[in-house]
Amino acid sequence: MNRRIAGEISGRRYEVVIGDLLDDLIREHLEKYGQKRMFISAGLKGTYRERLASLTGRDNLVEIRDGENQKSFDAYSSVVSSLLSAGLPRNVLLSYAGGGTLGDLIGFVSSTYKRGTPFMAIPTTLLAQVDSSIGGKNGVNLSGVKNAIGTFHLPEKVFCDTSFLNDLVISDGLSEMVKYGVVGDATIIDNLMELRGDSILSQNELLTSLVEKCVSMKMDVVSKDIHDTKGVRSVLNFGHTVGHAIESVSGNSISHGRAIAAGMIIESRMSELAEICEDPVSPVLSNVFWMIGIDVPRPDSTWGQEIMSYVRNDKKVEGGMVKLPVPLRIGRMGSLDVDLESFGKLASRAMEDLWR
């Protein structure tokens, strides 16, 4: 059964639909628009591509290379130029079918082309379904800085269609699901543990209900802090401070999901060592990642230094103090407020403890 979650932010209504094979609903929305362009990920081959072509019309479909390197100002400029050459007006519906990188790029184009067009999303990786397609953030990387330019621009509709998911695009999203479990809904962790090693793709009803739980939680958090200025959205950064540093030290050879998994374990252990947690979370995390088949990377000697250089430049650091969202127990978050030196010591001790 399809699930619909409606939201309203600053007077703008939008809706996320979650289900399996949402073609009729997608077509219905597309048919409301005379002019449209759908950008689809080069990773969507065969029947995925054919389905999307029949939904939007072959002439309106543009295949585009994606991935982190394509989330660039050059790619942005080339997409905008193609829209201008086609003479498309500002009420053209721009949409994408792909992962978070394509969503961030096309969201940014949609928000800026002729000062903003209608926008629709078909996220096709688990990470994009539970995270990046929700919340209105978009952007491209510039001069080696991730998301250096971007805006907030909400799609009118997001179609989280689980039939687009496959083994290649699941694992990073699973880590984010675990994050939602720790941050606010412990049943997500229980549900993942019940899989007992089976692939989540083999249980569509469970997959749909987990995507729904994560989307609801993100929409709720975002509705209270759309522009990420009140500190409410920061809980969703759990695991990402240390995780992003790990991703960066590996030159992106460690995937986002694996890096975030390690980040969540290390940050939880830091809250245990600082004695602010009520119930240790790091052992639960190690267990759940093992159960769902996420191969958490082991730290090497360069991590401590890299984490510190990343944290020094992080926007969460103010006046030499770090405000790190950490779990007090599963389902309840707190904040670890420490100076940079103590942060470094806690991170090093956490890594030693965890991977002795």
Ligand X SMILES: NC(=O)c1ccc[n+]([C@@H]2O[C@H](COP(=O)([O-])OP(=O)(O)OC[C@H]3O[C@@H](n4cnc5c(N)ncnc54)[C@H](O)[C@@H]3O)[C@@H](O)[C@H]2O)c1
What are the φ and ψ backbone dihedral angles of 267, each rounded to 5 degrees? -65, -35
Token code pair at residue 100: 């978070």
Window 272 to 291, contacts with ligand X (CB under 6 A) = none
User: Which one among 5, 79, 169, 245 touches ligand X, defined by CB under 6 A?
Assistant: 169
- Report the DSSP pairing between strands 145-149 and 140-142: antiparallel
Cβ proximity to ligand X: between 38 and 346 the closer is 38
- Going by C-alpha positions, the residue among 67, 214, 24, 13 that lies closest to residue 131 is 214
Strand partners, 323: 337
Would you count residue 212 as binding ligand X (CB under 6 A)? no
Would you count residue 26 as binding ligand X (CB under 6 A)? no
120: helix, coil or strand? strand
**Shortest approach of ligand X to residue 66 CB, angstroms?**
5
Would you count residue 44 as binding ligand X (CB under 6 A)? yes
Would you count residue 20 as binding ligand X (CB under 6 A)? no
Using only C-alpha atoms, the chain has a radius of gyration, in whole angstroms, of 20
User: Which one among 125, 162, 191, 268 touches ligand X, defined by CB under 6 A?
Assistant: 125
C-alpha span between 241 and 316 (Å, rounded):
9
Count of residues near ligand X by CB under 6 A? 29
Q: Which stretch binds ligand X (CB under 6 A): 82-90, 134-142, 188-196, 315-323?
A: 134-142
Q: Is 256 exposed, middle or buried (0-12, 13-18, 19+ CB in 10 A)?
A: buried
In the sheet with 332-339, reading across from the earlier edge strand, the strands are 317-318, 321-329, 332-339
Would you count residue 244 as binding ligand X (CB under 6 A)? no
Would you count residue 41 as binding ligand X (CB under 6 A)? yes
Q: Which stretch binds ligand X (CB under 6 A): 31-39, 135-143, 315-323, 333-341?
A: 135-143
Would you count residue 215 as binding ligand X (CB under 6 A)? no
C-alpha span between 77 and 109 (Å, rounded):
9
Window 58 to 87, contacts with ligand X (CB under 6 A) = 66-68, 71
Cβ proximity to ligand X: between 79 and 88 the closer is 79
- Report the DSSP pairing between strands 93-98 and 36-41: parallel
C-alpha span between 186 and 332 (Å, rounded):
9
**Shortest approach of ligand X to residue 274 CB, angstroms?**
27
Cβ proximity to ligand X: between 88 and 264 the closer is 264
C-alpha span between 159 and 124 (Å, rounded):
9
What are the φ and ψ backbone dihedral angles of 347, each rounded to 5 degrees? -65, -45
Tokens 């184009």 — which residue? 109
Strands (E), 247-339: 317-318, 321-329, 332-339
Would you count residue 124 as binding ligand X (CB under 6 A)? yes
Residue nearest to ligand X (CB): 100
Contact in structure between 268 and 277 (CB atoms under 8 Å): yes
166: helix, coil or strand? coil
**Shortest approach of ligand X to residue 97 CB, angstroms?**
8
Cβ proximity to ligand X: between 216 and 348 the closer is 216
Cβ proximity to ligand X: between 60 and 171 the closer is 171
Cβ proximity to ligand X: between 171 and 271 the closer is 171
**Shortest approach of ligand X to residue 101 CB, angstroms?**
3
Would you count residue 172 as binding ligand X (CB under 6 A)? yes
Site residues (vs ligand X, CB under 6 A):
41-44, 66-68, 71, 98-102, 104, 124-125, 127-128, 131-132, 135, 137-138, 164, 166, 168-169, 172, 256
